[in-house]
């Protein structure tokens, strides 16, 4: 019960890694505030409530800074505090070579995968500067440390998230605000299900991954909890690769 009496804010908590992490936080005593545009976040809240935990959901578009300010305010209104934040909301742009990426696809990826994290961090940091500190974890990707064909926009945004994470750590370490990010490999979620369902993709991917399989969201959540916990008090500005060995060979 590392998070008994504490509250965590999670963006993108409706499904996948966000939901698994919300459930894991609640199982360790945290009160969970979820921001998402996906109404399935209500299901996450109900799952937490059915296990005796406390959670709330506010419809939040991470492209809107005012909406993120309101999400932080809702966390404080519901639970009286906010101790850590997990910025997990994101989109997966269509796979295309660079010269075929449309302006709309690029704009959406920038707005959600990078600007959405930036704006969320602004809202969270303003609170933590007043409260005396806290921990932030951002979801990057293995695409923040390597690149794959036809994934230029996604890789660029995730590299940006990793860089932003380091910049925030440098700026706010002395204010007792720690900022780290995770870099998951292939995780089976609703967003990546089309890859999991493709024999051509999985045959190719599993052949180059020493684990020979994809991860489940529950295998990613524990690292987020650790980075938000007191046990990680001297971890700051780091990118934690969780890829089953994909980048090890």
CATH number of the domain where residue 214 is located: 3.40.50.720
pTM of the predicted protein model: 0.95
- Is residue 2 included in any domain, yes or no? no
- Is residue 156 included in any domain, yes or no? yes
58 contacts 33 by C-beta, under 8 angstroms: yes
Is the pLDDT assigned to residue 124 strictly greater than 90? yes
Neighbours of 182 (CB within 10 A): 26
* Run of H or E residues at 198: none
Query: In terms of DSSP bridges, do strands 84-87 and 134-139 run parallel, antiparallel, or are they unpaired?
Result: parallel
Q: Which residue has the higher pLDDT, 133 or 245?
A: 133
37 contacts 159 by C-beta, under 8 angstroms: no
- Is residue 249 included in any domain, yes or no? no
- Is residue 1 included in any domain, yes or no? no
pLDDT digits (tens, 9 = 90+) for 126-157: 999 999 999 999 999 999 999 989 999 999 99
Percent of the chain with pLDDT over 70: 100
pLDDT digits (tens, 9 = 90+) for 214-232: 889 999 999 999 999 999 9
Q: Name the residue range of residue 14's domain.
A: 7-242
- Is residue 248 included in any domain, yes or no? no
pLDDT band at 73 (very low <50, low <70, confident <90, very high): very high
Strand partners of residue 59? 36
Number of domains in the chain: 1
Alpha-carbon 63 to chain mean position: 15
pLDDT score at 176:
98
Largest CA distance in the chain: 51
- What residues are labeled active site? 154
Alpha-carbon 45 to chain mean position: 17
State mean pLDDT over 238-242: 98
What angle in degrees, to the nearest 10, is found between the helix axes of 116-131 and 65-79?
Answer: 40
pLDDT digits (tens, 9 = 90+) for 26-39: 999 999 999 999 99
């Amino acid at each position: 019960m590392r998070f008994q009496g504490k509250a965590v804010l999670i963006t993108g908590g409706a499904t996948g890694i966000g939901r698994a992490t919300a459930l894991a936080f609640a199982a360790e005593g945290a009160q969970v505030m979820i921001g998402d545009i996906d109404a399935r976040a209500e299901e996450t809240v109900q799952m937490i409530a059915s296990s005796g935990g406390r959670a709330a959901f506010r419809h939040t578009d991470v492209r809107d800074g005012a909406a993120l300010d309101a999400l932080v305010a809702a966390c404080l209104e519901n639970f009286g505090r906010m101790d850590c934040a997990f910025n997990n909301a994101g989109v997966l742009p269509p796979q295309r070579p660079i010269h075929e990426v449309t302006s709309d696809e690029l704009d959406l990826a920038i707005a959600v995968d990078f600007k959405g994290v930036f704006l969320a961090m602004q809202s969270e940091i303003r609170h933590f500067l007043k409260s005396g500190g806290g921990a932030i974890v951002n979801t990057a990707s293995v695409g923040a440390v390597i690149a794959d064909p036809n994934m230029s926009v996604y890789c660029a945004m995730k590299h940006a998230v990793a860089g932003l994470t380091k910049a925030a750590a440098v700026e706010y370490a002395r204010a007792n605000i720690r900022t780290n990010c995770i870099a998951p490999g292939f995780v089976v979620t609703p967003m990546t299900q089309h890859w999991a369902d493709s024999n051509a993709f999985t045959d190719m991917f599993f052949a180059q991954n020493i684990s020979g399989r994809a991860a489940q969201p529950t295998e990613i959540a524990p690292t987020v909890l650790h980075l938000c916990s007191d046990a990680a008090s001297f971890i700051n500005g780091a990118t934690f690769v969780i890829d089953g060995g994909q980048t090890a060979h």
